[in-house]
Chain A
Amino acid sequence: MVNLDKFRDSKIAKNLLKKIDSLVTSPLSFMEVCGTHTVAISQFGIRNALPSNLKFLSGPGCPVCVTPISEIDHIIELGEKKDIVITTFGDMMRVPGSHSTLEKERAKGRDIRVVYSSMDALNIAEIEGDKKIVFVGVGFETTSPTVAVTIRKAKEKDVHNFYVFSRFKLIPPAIKGVLEMGKNRIDGFLLPGHVSTIIGSHRYEFIPKGYQIPCVIGGFEPLDILHSIVLLLEQVKKSRPKVDIQYRRSVKEEGNLEAIKILEEVFEVKDTDWRGIGRIKKSGLELKARYNFCDVDKAFKVKIKQSREPKGCICGEILMGNKLPQDCVLFGKKCTPHSPVGPCMVSSEGACSAYYKYDVPRTNTEHHF
Chain B
Amino acid sequence: MKEIKINLRLSVIRPVGVEICVQLKCFLKKNPVDMCLAIPGRLISVEGEKGVVDFRGVKREVVLTLIPDVKVGDFVIVHAGFGIQILDETEAKETLDLLDELVQ
A-side residues, CB < 8 A to B, are 1-10, 12-19, 35-36, 39-40, 43-46, 48-49, 52, 63, 89-91, 116-120, 139, 142-143, 145-146, 149, 194, 197-198, 220, 222-223, 227, 230, 246, 248-250, 256, 258-259, 262, 348-349, 360, 362-366
Main secondary structure of the interface of B (DSSP, over half): loop
CB-CB under 8 A from A143, the residues of chain B are: 36, 79-80
Q: A19-B103, A145-B84, A366-B17 are in contact. Are A258 and B38 (CB under 8 A)?
A: no
Contact with A along B23-36 (1 / 0, CB 8 A): 11111100101111
Cβ distance B88 to chain A, nearest Cβ, rounded Å: 5
B102 within 8 A of partner (CB): yes
CB-CB under 8 A from A46, the residues of chain B are: 24
Whether A35 contacts B25 by the Cβ 8 Å rule is: no
A2 to B42 alpha-carbon distance, docked (Å): 12
A287 to B56 alpha-carbon distance, docked (Å): 37
- B side interface size, CB within 8 A: 51
Q: A256-B67, A348-B33 are in contact. Are A360 and B84 (CB under 8 A)?
A: no
A246 to B91 alpha-carbon distance, docked (Å): 10
Q: A39-B34, A117-B82, A348-B35 are in contact. List 9 more A-B contacts (CB 8 A).
A: A40-B33, A49-B6, A89-B35, A116-B35, A119-B81, A146-B66, A149-B66, A249-B88, A360-B20
Q: Which of B68, B80, B89 contacts A146 (CB 8 A)?
A: B80
How many CB-defined contacts (below 8 Å) exist between A and B? 175
Q: Which of B33, B85, B98, B103 contacts A15 (CB 8 A)?
A: B103
Cβ < 8 Å to A, chain B residues 58-104: 63, 65-68, 75, 77, 79-82, 84-85, 87-89, 91-96, 98-100, 102-103
A63 to B65 alpha-carbon distance, docked (Å): 24
Whether B103 contacts A259 by the Cβ 8 Å rule is: no
B51 within 8 A of partner (CB): no
A360 to B8 alpha-carbon distance, docked (Å): 15
A194 to B39 alpha-carbon distance, docked (Å): 10
Give me 15 A-to-B residue pairs in the complex whose CB atoms sit less than 8 angstroms apart, sorted by A's number: A10-B24, A43-B25, A44-B26, A48-B10, A139-B80, A142-B38, A145-B82, A145-B84, A146-B66, A146-B79, A194-B38, A249-B89, A256-B66, A348-B36, A349-B34
Q: Which of A8, A142, A194 contacts B28 (CB 8 A)?
A: A8
Residue ID in chain B nearest A139 by CB atoms: B36
Whether B24 contacts A45 by the Cβ 8 Å rule is: yes
Q: Which of A7, A230, A262 contacts B66 (CB 8 A)?
A: A262
Main secondary structure of the interface of A (DSSP, over half): helix
Whether A45 contacts B23 by the Cβ 8 Å rule is: yes
Q: Which of A8, A10, A364 contacts B16 (CB 8 A)?
A: A364
A194 to B16 alpha-carbon distance, docked (Å): 36
Whether A249 contacts B91 by the Cβ 8 Å rule is: yes
Whether B26 contacts A10 by the Cβ 8 Å rule is: yes
Whether A222 contacts B24 by the Cβ 8 Å rule is: yes
A18 to B103 alpha-carbon distance, docked (Å): 9
Cβ distance A102 to chain B, nearest Cβ, rounded Å: 15
Whether A117 contacts B80 by the Cβ 8 Å rule is: yes
Cβ distance A365 to chain B, nearest Cβ, rounded Å: 8
Whether B37 contacts A36 by the Cβ 8 Å rule is: yes
CB-CB under 8 A from A360, the residues of chain B are: 16, 20
Cβ distance A59 to chain B, nearest Cβ, rounded Å: 15
Q: Which of A5, A197, A220, A258 contacts B33 (CB 8 A)?
A: A220
Whether B66 contacts A145 by the Cβ 8 Å rule is: yes
Residue ID in chain A nearest B9 by CB atoms: A21
Whether B102 contacts A89 by the Cβ 8 Å rule is: no
B4 within 8 A of partner (CB): yes
A364 to B17 alpha-carbon distance, docked (Å): 9
Whether A116 contacts B84 by the Cβ 8 Å rule is: no
Cβ distance B52 to chain A, nearest Cβ, rounded Å: 14
**A19, A43, A117: which has the most chain B beta carbons within 10 Å?**
A117
CB-CB under 8 A from A222, the residues of chain B are: 24, 26
Q: A19-B102, A146-B82 are in contact. Are A250 and B63 (CB under 8 A)?
A: no
CB-CB under 8 A from B14, the residues of chain A are: 362, 364
Whether B85 contacts A256 by the Cβ 8 Å rule is: yes
Cβ distance B60 to chain A, nearest Cβ, rounded Å: 9
**B24, B63, B85, B96: which has the most chain A beta carbons within 10 Å?**
B24
